[in-house]
């Protein structure tokens, strides 16, 4: 550095600006009596004192141990107006006996008249620099030991996707050495080179992460013996203080065991589903056998008994239909009410034969969206069956036509099921209204079991409307 002229006050303002800036190099300005005029924080820290403790004090006062070694060179700069560069080993401030090696330069500061007005000092503590480098190297070794102790796979890539570092785990798992993969494009390394498609995906992923994205994917890689391992793989950008992407960090964990456990779980779930379907199928078959036996019994019974047996057969078929629908589903926690009601109406049409020639039975319910819990299915089926059967038997005079409507819809607090007919209505002295029939008793008990509400029709008026209000969820019954 060449000597430069001292021009106050502009010179001093410029120098103060320089000295306030952070710098790893120690800097100071001394006057002709070797007093500190300016000093930056770096050199002040090296000397073991604050900036304020230096200003106005001499080098001898601040560094009494080093001053005898420094004075000849200081005198040379002042007397000969000549720069000097040197290395010196002195005891570090603090009195603990530690030595520090310095590399320093003393440069003359010339006044406008050409005389030397002071000295510019520039110094680097080589010992501190060496210690910092050793600390950094030790830190890197420690980080390497930590990374190598991890079971996770971790690496470092340059922004163009070149592999710079990889910890021990992925190398050991693949049975390869670091020198076989370091310096290569990541997608061309042993782990990924078994598939052109996988390599192309990784190449694209590196480009996306270099642009700031984060990529995560479950993917298979090649390991020792050309085996395959499933990894939960993530690639993220590493940024500097300005937000620029400086490196790409790949990391992964082996999820082969988790994947295998999941596949075992899925197998068990499929087996459970098949078992439950078989159970519902067998229950449905057994209920149909019971219904067939009731039908056979009715053929040789008196008309009154035959009618009672037919009612029982309808109830059994209503329960059988529930299990039939469950057998057809893979979700056994709920049942679609709309689909069930349409199948139930079809079953009743078949059971009542010629009666359906004069009575129109309609259903208004969505195929999906009205789900009831499995525990609700049979009670709801029996209630609806009783209401429809009652309307078919009692709502219309012999040989008179009529209409029965079945409707189901979602309401704010649950599901509403309505059975309405345009028949003669319930007489004022209806035994049904008094609870003296089996059908009425079943409807009442099942409604209570469901935790539901039933709106009954008014006796003595034309037509009859029953409204069953199911809560959103009743829990186990």
Q: HEC states along 280-299?
A: HHHHHHHHHHHHHHHHHHHH
Distance CA 318, CA 383 (A): 10
Beta partners for residue 238, in sequence order: 247
- Start-to-end CA distance of the chain, whole Å, equals 94
pLDDT at residue number 475: 43
Q: Is the pLDDT of residue 26 over 70?
A: yes
CATH classification for the domain delimited by 348-477, as one of 3.40.50.1820, 3.30.310.220, 3.30.565.10, 2.60.40.10? 3.30.565.10
Q: Is the pLDDT of residue 355 over 80?
A: no
461 half-sphere exposure, CB direction, 13 A CA radius? 9
Q: Where are the domains of the chain?
A: 4-128, 150-254, 257-332, 348-477
pLDDT at residue number 166: 87
Mean pLDDT of 433-462: 79
DSSP H or E stretch at residue 81: none
Q: Is the pLDDT of residue 131 over 70?
A: no
Q: State the sign of the Cα–Cα–Cα–Cα dihedral 210, 216, 217, 219.
A: positive
Burial class of 408 by CB neighbour count within 10 A (0 to 12, 13 to 18, 19+): buried
pLDDT at residue number 261: 66
Q: Is the pLDDT of residue 327 over 70?
A: no
Mean pLDDT of 194-201: 94
Distances from the Cα of 402 to the Cαs of 249, 389, 473, in angstroms? 76, 14, 35
Mean pLDDT of the chain, nearest integer: 81
Q: How confident is the model at residue 434 (pLDDT cuts 50, 70, 90)?
A: very low
Mean pLDDT of 125-142: 61
Q: Is the pLDDT of residue 378 over 90?
A: no
Mean pLDDT of 338-364: 84
Q: Judge whether 150-254 and 348-477 match in fold.
A: no
What does DSSP assign to residue 437? S
Beta partners for residue 467, in sequence order: 418, 455
Q: What is the pTM of this model?
A: 0.43
pLDDT at residue number 61: 93
> Which is nearest to 235 in space by CA: 253, 210, 216?
216
CATH number for the domain running over 150-254: 3.30.450.20
CATH number for the domain running over 4-128: 3.30.450.20
Mean pLDDT of 421-439: 69
Q: Is the pLDDT of residue 1 over 50?
A: no
Which has more confidence, 23 or 198? 198
């Amino acid at each position: 550095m060449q000597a430069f002229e001292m021009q106050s006050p502009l010179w001093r303002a410029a120098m103060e600006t320089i000295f306030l800036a952070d710098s790893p190099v120690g800097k100071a300005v001394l006057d002709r009596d070797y007093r500190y005029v300016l000093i930056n924080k770096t050199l002040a820290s090296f000397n073991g004192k604050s900036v304020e403790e230096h200003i106005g004090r001499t080098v001898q006062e601040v560094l009494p141990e080093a001053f005898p070694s420094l004075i000849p060179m200081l005198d040379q700069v002042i007397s000969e107006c000549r720069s000097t560069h040197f290395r010196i080993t002195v005891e570090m401030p603090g009195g603990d006996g530690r030595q520090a090696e310095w590399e320093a330069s003393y440069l003359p500061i010339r006044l406008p008249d050409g005389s030397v007005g002071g000295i510019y000092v520039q110094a680097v503590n080589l010992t501190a620099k060496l210690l910092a480098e050793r600390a950094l190297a030790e830190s890197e070794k420690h980080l390497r030991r930590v990374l190598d102790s991890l079971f996770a796979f971790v690496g470092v890539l340059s922004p163009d996707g070149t592999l710079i570092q990889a910890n021990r785990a992925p190398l050991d798992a693949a049975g390869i050495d670091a020198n076989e993969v370091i310096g290569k494009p990541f997608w061309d390394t042993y782990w990924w080179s078994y598939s052109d498609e996988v390599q192309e995906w990784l190449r694209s992923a590196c480009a996306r992460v270099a642009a700031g994205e984060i990529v995560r994917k479950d993917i298979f890689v090649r390991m020792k013996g050309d085996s395959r391992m499933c990894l939960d793989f993530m690639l993220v950008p590493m940024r500097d203080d300005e937000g620029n992407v400086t490196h790409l960090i790949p990391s992964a964990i082996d999820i082969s065991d988790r994947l295998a456990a999941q596949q075992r779980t899925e197998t068990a779930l499929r087996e459970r589903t098949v078992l439950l379907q078989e159970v519902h199928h067998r229950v449905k078959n057994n209920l149909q056998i019971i219904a067939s036996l009731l039908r056979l019994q009715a053929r040789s019974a008196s008309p009154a008994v035959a009618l009672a047996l037919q009612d029982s057969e309808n109830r059994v078929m209503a329960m059988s239909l529930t299990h039939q629908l469950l057998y057809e589903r893979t979700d056994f926690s709920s049942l679609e009410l709309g689909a069930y009601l349409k199948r139930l109406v079809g079953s009743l049409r078949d059971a009542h034969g010629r009666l359906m020639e004069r009575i129109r039975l309609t259903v208004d319910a969505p195929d999906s969206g009205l789900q009831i819990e499995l525990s609700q299915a049979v009670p709801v089926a029996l209630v609806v069956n009783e209401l429809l059967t009652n309307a078919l038997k009692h709502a219309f005079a012999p040989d008179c036509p009529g209409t029965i409507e079945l409707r189901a819809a979602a309401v704010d607090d649950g599901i509403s099921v309505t059975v309405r007919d345009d028949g003669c209505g319930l007489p004022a002295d209806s035994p049904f209204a008094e609870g003296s029939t089996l059908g009425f008793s079943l409807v009442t008990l099942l409604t209570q079991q469901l935790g539901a509400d039933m709106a009954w029709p008014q006796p003595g008026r034309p037509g009859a409307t029953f409204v069953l209000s199911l809560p959103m969820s009743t829990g186990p019954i």
